[in-house]
Amino acid sequence: MNYLIVFLELLLSMALVVGALAFSRLLAPRPAVQTESRPYECGAELVGNARVRFHAGYYLVALLFLVFDVEAAFLYPWAMAQAQVGLVGLIEIVVFISILLLALVYAWKKRVLEWL
C-alpha cells in the first residue's frame, strides 16, 4: 500500500506537469515573431551553438563523486546494523573509510581539487 501511494504520487506529478502544459496552451498567447524562439543571451547576436565543450574539472568531480557515493551506499547497511556488529564492525568500517580518505588525499595531492 505504501508503494501504491508512492506510485500514484509519481503519476500525480506527471499529471501536474502535463496539466500545466495543457493549461498554458489554452490560456497563454502564442509567440508570433520568429526572433522570440531564439535562446536568450542578453539580446546580443548568438555566437554559435550551446553544445560546446566545457571545463574538464566537472568530469573529475563527477568521477570523484562516483567513488564516494558508492561508499555512502555501502555505509547505509552498516549504519543500520552497527548496534549489532559492535567493535568488529567499527574496526572494519574504520579501515574501509580510511582507504577512501586515502583516495581523497591522493586526489588532493594530484591537485584534482584545485580546479585546473
Binding site for another protein (CB under 8 A): 1-6, 8-10, 12-14, 16-17, 20-21, 23-25, 27-31, 36-42, 49-52, 54-55, 57-58, 61-62, 64-65, 68-69, 72, 75-76, 79-83, 86-87, 90, 93-94, 97, 100-101, 104, 108, 113-115
Work out how close the CB of 11 gets to another protein at its nearest, in angstroms, rounded to a whole number.
9
Work out how close the CB of 94 gets to another protein at its nearest, in angstroms, rounded to a whole number.
6
Separation between Cα atoms, residue 2 and residue 9, nearest integer Å: 11
